[in-house]
Structures are given as structure tokens and as C-alpha cells.
Amino acid sequence: MTPSRPAPLSVLDLAPIRAGGTVGDALRETLQLARTVEDLGYHRFWLAEHHNIPGIASAATAVLIGQVAAVTERMRVGSGGVMLPNHAPMVVAEQFGTLAALYPGRIDLGLGRAPGADVNTAYALRRAQDNGQSFPTDLQELRAFLAPAQPGQRITAIPGAGSDLQILLLGSSTFSAQLAAQEGLGFAFAAHFAPQLMLDAFELYRARFRPSEMFPEPYAMVGAYVVVADTDEEARRLFTSTQQKHTWLIRGNPRPTAPPLDDIDAFWSPMERASIDSQLREAVVGSPETVRAGLESLLERTGADEVIVATDAYDFDARLRSYRLLADAWGPPRTPEPAAATAGARDGAQ
């Protein structure tokens, strides 16, 4: 008998745009990927909000979540995440309240406090910016709009009030870990691009967690880049597309996903390699056996309840195959622990 997965597998997708491809291609591939991974037993499918980046098509995150939910049936769909500083909390409540009404019991609201954009783009999105300082206040306001409406309430989010949403905070530092613990929310750590404080964040989240109706127990997710191919060598070659994308970002010249390289060292400088290797050190790349062992190590070190993986291979068929090989290597899905069950906005503060 094949052993079950040690933790649920989920997908983080940015609707990557390939060099030579179009936004339409990227969005259609995201929908096809969502259908495929649902059939493979993945637990969630999350879209990330980024702006003014040539290689990412998931900027209108709530719109794309609705499209993904419409072409799938069982899998949870949500944001990984919505960058709250870019939006009025009431607008987020209305958008995700609409999604929750259309797809009850399936919508997640993952929230981040970074703008997901450069300074000028952040200003264009919401004019005034405060480097995320208002995030705790905005979170309370958003949860109030999502809570059941009270008699005499002057402003009600319709849709939104009383929505059945699972709320998790995203972070790459200890700030969101501490806030998620304090508010009794789920927590997802972005180890795929900023792993430096990963262990500290998980330790702090569990140590300070206050149970809530939404999450009676802590529920932690860890994000990782994963590329699976038949051999370690081929997987490492496919991963050079991601390495190139991150290198172009630190060069201040972001570009779409490029074809893989046979010799990545001819592309970057030793200093760039050291920087990217540090950013991507938790990436799990290789054959099915190598990747399973790598993810098991990541789970053992973090104690995470769930792994959310991102694969940005240039060739779409290679992306699909990577997710298939991972699902086969990881084993059949199991049901997540009850701590992750939705209790929706009933826990929100009014």
C-alpha cells in the first residue's frame, strides 16, 4: 500500500509570462494548470499579487481567483496573497465576499503587508504608503467588514459580511508570524525567496499562538520552489529559468521567464550567484526521489502542516510534468487536520 502524503501539497502560481509569450497565454496556462493539479489531488491553488513585473500576469488577483474557482470543483482557491496596503479593506471584503458567495467553503484569503511592487507603482495603486505600518489596523478593519453585520452598523460590506473565508497571513519575517499568532490566524512563510528568518518565524508563531474559532490550533504553511524532472541534472537545468528571473530582478531589469540554460555560470557574476543562492537556498530541485527527500527535510525542520510549491519552468509541459511527478512521489492526498477547517468570518472582530 502506497503511504499517504506526510502533509498536504498545494500550489502557488503567479501566472508566469514566458519570453515570446503573451499575457493571454499565461492566464490560459494557469487555468489548465489548476484543472490538472486538482485532478492530481493538490489541496489549494493560490495566486499572488504582484504589479509592474513583466513576467507575472496575476496582478488582478481576485479576478483570476474567480476564474480558477470556476474551472475547478473541489480544490481550495485563494490569494497568496493579496497585498493589503494596496487596497481599501472594504474593497477586499467585497471582492472576497463575492468569491465566497459564489464558491462557498473553497475560498482562502491570504494577506501580505508588502506592496508587491516598486515605490512608484505602490503609489499608483493606493497613493499614500506607510511601509506596511498600518497593516495591523487594516487587518482589523477588514475582519470587521467580514464579520456578521450587527444591528445599527452604519457601513456593511455586501457581499462580504458573514463570509465563510479562511484567513491566513503571509510573511518573510517574524512580523506577520507574531501578528498571525496574536490574531489566531493561519500563517504561511515565503521560504521560496526569503528563507533567512524561516525557523525563527515558525517558532515564534507557535509559541505565541492564541486559539480562535477559525483556527483552534496553529496552522503553518511553508512555500518552496520545486522543480521535478526525471533526473537531478534535467531538473537543475529547468530551474535555471527561475534563477535567471531572480537575477534580472536584482539587476533592476525584471523580465519574463526565459528558456533554461546549459551553463548558468556564464550568465551571472560570482556575486550575483552568491545572492541568488542565498535567496533560493530552500528550493527543492531534482528527481522525484531527491525532491521527496528534500521536502520531507523541509517539513522536519519547520514542522509545517502544509507545503505550497511554486514551479516556474519555461516550457509549460515541463511545468505540468513537474507537478505530476511530485504528486506521484509524494503519495495519495490525505485530509488536512481539523485546525485548518474554515470557520469563516465568524471569528472577525466587529
Q: What's residue 119's pLDDT?
A: 77
CA distance 177 to 166: 16
Give residues with Cβ within 8 angstroms of 145, minimum separation 6.
89, 90, 93, 155, 156, 157, 160, 161, 348
User: HSE of 200 in the Cβ direction (CA atoms, 13 Å)?
Assistant: 10
Q: How far apart are CA 175 and CA 171, in angstroms?
A: 7
Kindly provide the b/e burial profile for residues 129-166, where b requires at least 16 CB atoms within 10 angstroms of the residue's own CB.
beebebbeebbebbbbbbbeeeeeeeeebebbbbbbbb
pLDDT, position 339: 40
- Pick the closest to residue 185 from 170, 201, 195 (CA basis): 170
In whole angstroms, give the CA distance from residue 150 to residue 144.
10
DSSP structure string for 135-201:
HHHHHHHHHHHHSPP-TT-S---TTTTT---EEEEEESSHHHHHHHHHHT-EEEE-TTT--TTHHHH
Positions in the chain whose pLDDT score sits under 50: 1, 337-350
pLDDT, one tens digit per residue, over 249-285 is 999 999 999 999 999 999 999 999 999 999 999 999 9
Grid cell of 42 as nine digits: 493538490
Distance (Å, whole) CA 193 – CA 322: 19
What's the whole-model pTM score? 0.92
Return the pLDDT at 343. Answer: 39
Residue extents of the structural domains in the chain:
9-225+302-347
Is CATH 1.10.10.10 correct for 9-225+302-347?
no
pLDDT tens digits for range 134-182? 899 999 999 999 999 999 899 999 999 999 899 999 999 999 999 999 9
| Residue-level pLDDT at 134 | 87
* Opening angle at CA 186, ends 185 and 187, nearest 5: 120
